[in-house]
Chains A and B, each alone.
Chain A
């Protein structure tokens, strides 16, 4: 069955440090991949997406993600974290290219230390 795994439930980093959030998926075909961010009490905001082509994609707020087909991964990175990046991050995979049915990972909560 298709699935998305975010191995880290909670991550704490110091402000200014680099960040990498992991995402692994199980899906037979070429996936469409997304990262969303959710601030407390808010809806989800699309950070970036991978559809095809260059495997390193750039998103908003200085985030980037790299698609690695051999590892079935789509990890999110940011070179220098800001306190405002504290939020919950979700990786999602489109399992049906005809209808946009998304499967989400469980989420990773990011805490930023001053």
Chain B
């Protein structure tokens, strides 16, 4: 157990509203990641962080922003949710401090945008 929690676990929101998902780790791991999972697509990387205030984009970053003001928390924000962002969102951490960065996943957040 890598000590990863995600909140909320389920959320229903309306199109156009802002949404923030939280990923929390209990240890001071440097690398954190946000993925979305959709049928037929596997998991796709949205954003990742390699330290406090250090973030970068993944392959499906449009419409998402992230912040990391503390080592233990990595926030994913949908500024104005759209129906295409209905998905299951997973946070992951890497417990390694050098490559390769094997990753461990949180339980996921199911987001529905109506």
Contact = CB atoms under 8 A, between A and B. Distances in A.
A85 B64 CA distance: 35
B105 A106 contact: no
A97 B107 CA distance: 25
Contacts, number: 63
Contacts of A46: 102-104
Interface residues of A, number: 25
A49 B102 contact: yes
Given A99-B101, A100-B100, A90 B90 contact: no
Interface string A75-101: 000000000000000101010011111
B33 A100 contact: yes
Interface of A: 4, 32, 34, 36, 42-46, 49, 51, 90, 92, 94, 97-107
Interface of B: 31, 33, 40-45, 48, 50, 56, 58-59, 90, 94, 99-108
